[in-house]
Amino acid sequence: MKKLFIFLAAAFLCFMLIAPANAASKDTFVKATYGTVRTIDPATAYDVSSGMKLYNIYERLVAFDGASTENFIPELAVEVPTVANGGISKDGKNYRFKIKKGIKFHNGATLTPEDVEYSFERGMIMDQAGGPQWMILEALTGKGGTRDGDDKVIDGIFEKIMAAVDVDGDDVVFHLPVPYPPLMGIIQYTSSSIINKKWAIANKCWDGKLATAAKYNNPDFNKEPLLKIANGTGPYTLKEWIPSNQFVFERFEGYWGKTPYFKNAIVKYVPEWTTRKLMLQNGDADVVDLDSMYVEEVEAMEGITVYKIPQLSYSAAIFCQKINPAGNPDIGSGKLDGNGIPPNFFSDIHVRKAFSHSIDWKAMKEDVGMGLIDLPGSPNCIGLPYYKEIPLYSFDAKKAEAEMKQAFGGEVWEKGFKMTITHNTGNALREAAANMMAENIMALNPKFQIEIRNVAWKDYTVKYRQFAYPVFIIGWGADYPDPHNFLYTFMHSNGVYGKYSGFKNAEVDALCDAGIQNVEPEKRRAAYSKLQDLWHELAVGNTVYQQTVVKPFRSDIKGFVGNPMFDDDHEYLKNLYRE
């Protein structure tokens, strides 16, 4: 009996040793990531993690042409409209898109111009708080949202939305109140994905009628009807999604374009870097999320091709000036009593400046970013039009101390404070910046206490919109390559980060509006130049980095084309193949 047991144990061990590890199946593409997804409703998703899923499941009228950020190719449109081909009116206020025929959705329905009209109108009518619809709303209605500053629906906005997009035979026509240069960039973005009208209505989406529009405006987070289901015309269908675990694509056999190489694609949630690295090394992952500090490790590995793509993106530490105190564990007592901070702690410019003086830029760039990051002084990052070199706040403990001593009339220095800085789980660069700020501020005065907390991405994007975090480190990748997309977002009182940092400045708002409403380059330059100066003067937020994304692919994976617009979560799966 004992001998039999030993034999069986030995045989079992031999099998385990001989059987190869889980080498990726040839027709399955595997990505290991630390990003999690909250929603795949294209009308409300607004982050890079969901972006990769939406770019592959849905399609839009146009797409960027390879690595270009200026040239477009048609996707569901027959051609890219221009003034020359008559697609854009001479006054720049009407865009006409001829829609391709015979294209099927994943459920078998055929694409119609009505689907296109519905998709845009539905998105704008939903206009979830902090969502992506502000861009197309601004272009098509002249308003950056469907609600005013008090969250009340603007009179007549739904009528404007319904009038802005029309079907004319096989064409869809967009009517703009004024010319809007970045429109084409917005139309290629995931929020402009085309969905099937009939299917959407059957799944409890807006019914397409003006009378009911208000009911569907600003839906609750995680209550969107298309939160976890999808039906696009894209090359891949959603096969399975287990939140915080994995997302599985399956090739759409009825795809109108060239049949993609990979039958399946899996995006796995692997928050631990060592595990991701070993998966890449063993071929169990074809590409992994990689932070700058680990690039050297990967470059030393065999069989890996590393792509370095300078990004039109900007990450910053955002100081929330009106923190929501209700049940908020991140502000301690909620008072300036040494055990917490008041909700308006960061409304004092001296506090913001002290924090801005606390990042060691040299260490950030060389030791953390491994020379693969830039440090622009404002959100109008390197590579964008009207970029201006803005100085960073010097890393200087004495200056930080001097600022803290002035904050709240000296009370901050005298009483001390306790708070939390947050960053998204797995992002090592942001974690390093958070630690650096915390350590350097705490070193000023033993009464200063700062904790660091990481939060999964899908929850992080919800919580900052509840004004929950005193300081949150977050990035912005270009939706379209224009300063408006960055400066409005970070600084305007209705911009995504401007709004949720509680920052409001009439001059800044007016300059943001002037920047987009003017078509004359010199006037735009003047507005954006002043805005960049104000970012620094007012210490609205603090630069963390502008990243060069490094994408390590297994060398047998071909077809990847980097684009400065696309962050580390974007892969056009249909372009990839295994050699």
Minimum separation from the CB atom of position 481 to other proteins (A): 29
Tell me the C-alpha distance between 378 and 242, whole Å: 38
- CB neighbour list of residue 5: distance below 8 Å, 6 or more residues apart: none
Residues binding other proteins: number (CB under 8 A): 59
Does 215 help bind other proteins (rule: CB under 8 A)?
Answer: no
Contact in structure between 551 and 560 (CB atoms under 8 Å): yes
Minimum distance, C-beta of residue 410 to other proteins, in the bound complex (Å): 29
Q: Between residues 404 and 456, which has the closer beta carbon with respect to other proteins?
A: 456
In total, the chain counts a number of residues equal to 579
Looking at the DSSP bridge assignments, the partners of residue 450 are 419
Binding-site string for other proteins from residue 304 to residue 343, where x marks contact by CB under 8 A and - marks none? --------------------xxxxxx--------------
Place of tokens 């350590």: 439
Pick from 468, 471, 527, 531 the residue near other proteins by CB under 8 A.
468
CA distances to 18, 55, 70, 118, 288 from 314, in Å = 48, 21, 19, 33, 21
Binding status of residue 303 toward other proteins by CB under 8 A: no
Where does this chain touch other proteins (CB under 8 A) — which range of 264-272, 371-379, 539-547, 558-566?
A: 264-272
Please give the order of strands across the beta sheet that includes 94-98.
94-98, 171-175, 165-168
- CA nearest neighbour of 268 among 298, 295, 288, 291: 288
State the burial class of residue 520 (Cβ atoms within 10 Å of its Cβ: 0-12, 13-18, 19+). exposed
For position 240 contacting other proteins by CB under 8 A, the verdict is yes
Please choose, from the candidates 350, 338, 352, 353, the residue with its C-alpha nearest in 3D space to the C-alpha of residue 418.
338
Please say which residue, 107 or 245, places its beta carbon nearer to other proteins: 245
Distance of closest approach, residue 147 Cβ to other proteins, in angstroms: 11
Q: Is 558 in the site for other proteins (CB under 8 A)?
A: no
Contact map string, positions 392 to 431, toward other proteins, x by CB under 8 A: ---------------------------------x------
Stretch that binds other proteins, among 137-145, 450-458, 503-511, 566-574 (CB under 8 A): 450-458
| Residue ranges of E strands in 34-156 | 62-64, 72-74, 94-98
Scanning 42-50, 62-70, 153-161, 279-287 for contacts with other proteins by CB under 8 A, the matching segment is 279-287
Choose which of 73, 109, 201, 248 interacts with other proteins (CB under 8 A): 248
Among 70, 150, 155, 220, binds other proteins (CB under 8 A): 220
Buried b or exposed e, range 525-562, using 16+ CB within 10 angstroms: bbbbbbbbebbbebbbbbbbbbbbbbbbbbeebebebb
Residues 114-173 contacting other proteins, CB under 8 A: 129-130
CA distance 421 to 316: 12
* Contact code string over 168-207 relative to other proteins, x by CB under 8 A: ----------------------------------------
Cα separation, 355 vs 353, in Å, equals: 5
Q: Is 138 exposed, middle or buried (0-12, 13-18, 19+ CB in 10 A)?
A: buried
CA distances from 448 to 59, 355, 501 (A): 50, 12, 22
Contact of 539 with 351, CB cutoff 8 Å: no
Cβ nearer to other proteins, comparing 405 with 504: 504
Nearer to other proteins, 226 or 534 (CB): 226
Which of 100/268 has CB closer to other proteins? 268
Among residue numbers 490 through 549, which ones bind other proteins (CB under 8 A)?
Answer: none
Place of tokens 């091709």: 305
Q: Which of residues 36-55 bind other proteins (CB under 8 A)?
A: 38
Q: Residue 182's Cα: distance from chain center in Å? A: 18
Amino acid at 400: A
| Closest CB 247 distance from other proteins, rounded Å | 12
Going from the C-alpha of 433 to that of each of 9, 48, 252, 365, 436, the distances in angstroms are 50, 21, 42, 11, 5
The contacts of residue 20 (CB under 8 Å, 6+ apart) are none
Tokens of 322: 């009106």
Q: Which is nearer to other proteins, 11 or 67 (CB)?
A: 11
Contact in structure between 568 and 425 (CB atoms under 8 Å):
no
User: At closest approach, how far in Å is the CB of 577 from other proteins?
Assistant: 18
Residue 20 binds other proteins, judged by CB under 8 A: yes
Place of tokens 């630390």: 34
When the beta carbons of 166 and 337 are compared against other proteins, the nearer one is 337
Helix (H, G, I), strand (E, B) or coil at 188: coil
Contact residue for other proteins among 68, 89, 94, 282 (CB under 8 A): 282
Beta strands in 311-363 (DSSP E): 313-319
Select the residue interacting with other proteins from 243, 303, 409, 410 (CB under 8 A).
Answer: 243
Q: Does residue 218 touch other proteins according to CB under 8 A?
A: yes
272 binds other proteins, rule: CB under 8 A: yes
Number of Cβ atoms within 10 Å of the Cβ of 160? 19
Q: How far is the CB of 365 from other proteins (least distance, A)?
A: 28
Decide: is 555 part of the binding site for other proteins (CB under 8 A).
no
Is 7 a residue that touches other proteins (CB under 8 A)?
A: no
> Residue written as tokens 């970013």?
369
Identify the residue among 7, 10, 11, 12 touching other proteins (CB under 8 A): 12
**Smaller CB separation from other proteins, 147 or 388:** 147
Place of tokens 């890393």: 395
CB of 283 to other proteins, least distance (A): 9
Query: Does 267 participate in binding other proteins (rule CB under 8 A)?
Result: no
CB of 16 to other proteins, least distance (A): 6
Binding residues for other proteins, per CB under 8 A?
A: 12, 15-17, 19-22, 24-25, 28, 30, 38, 129-130, 218, 220-223, 239-240, 242-245, 248, 264, 266, 268-272, 274-275, 278-279, 281-282, 284, 324-329, 425, 453-456, 458-459, 462, 465-468
